[in-house]
Structure 1
Amino acid sequence: MPNLVLSTRAIQVINKSIDLFHHHGFHTVGVDRIVKECEVTKATFYNFFHSKERFIEICLIVQKERLKEKVVSIVGYDQNTSVKDKLKKLYYLHTDVEGMYYLLFKAIFETKLTYPKAYITA
């Protein structure tokens, strides 16, 4: 998938929506709620993202990239941390139900039938 180029406002909508999806699920958070919570019009939402399925796909791509950056920072940049402590950090990163992985796991279970393209992304 090519690199996404998103405006600052689109990123704000994504960040807020990732939180909404994380806490309320993909099916219960509709476009109406997203635009209301993010204070954008539906036209702006569809101009940015084209469909809810594409929007979910973008949210998952963003979340995966953030997770990848976090893993790389744990493993690669902290030279003063022991391997054992790095493994602990990675373990907690993967098992924290309030953490970054949770949305990706939720997507696997909630998007398969309704949003197949987003499911493939997860």
Structure 2
Amino acid sequence: MTLAGCGVRPTPVLTGAEAPTISSHELTVYLLTPKHDDLVRRTRTYSGTVDTATAINLLVAGPTEEEKKLGLSTEVPSTSSRVYAVSNLIVLPEDLGPLSKMAQLQLYCTAIASRAKVEGVPQPGFSCP
């Protein structure tokens, strides 16, 4: 194979800016088994800055399509309002209303797993699945 040029002169190497990077993290949320009698741990990938409130917001958004196909669900009511973390306190929106025992466990275990993973805080004595 022969290549021919048409008078285009070579140019020096052109440098550009640094390549963009995306910060990707794995966060844990706790959903309910198909029988709604136990919690199941699910890992989700999230791009961007994360904290404990990020994991709770993922839980509040509900199961993904894949999780729904597996029969997993949640008792945490969905809301368009955001969850915020203030120091060691998670502030839930008022429109979540009263929470069932399983919803409370889902929120607690998700927050504990996230704090352990993201902030390096060890989990307390209560064990989540």
Superposed pair shares fold, TM > 0.5: no
- Larger RCO of the pair (alpha carbons < 8 Å, separation 6+): 1
Greater helix share, 1 or 2?
A: 1
TM-score normalised according to structure 1 size:
0.31
Determine which structure has more spread, i.e. the larger CA radius of gyration: 2
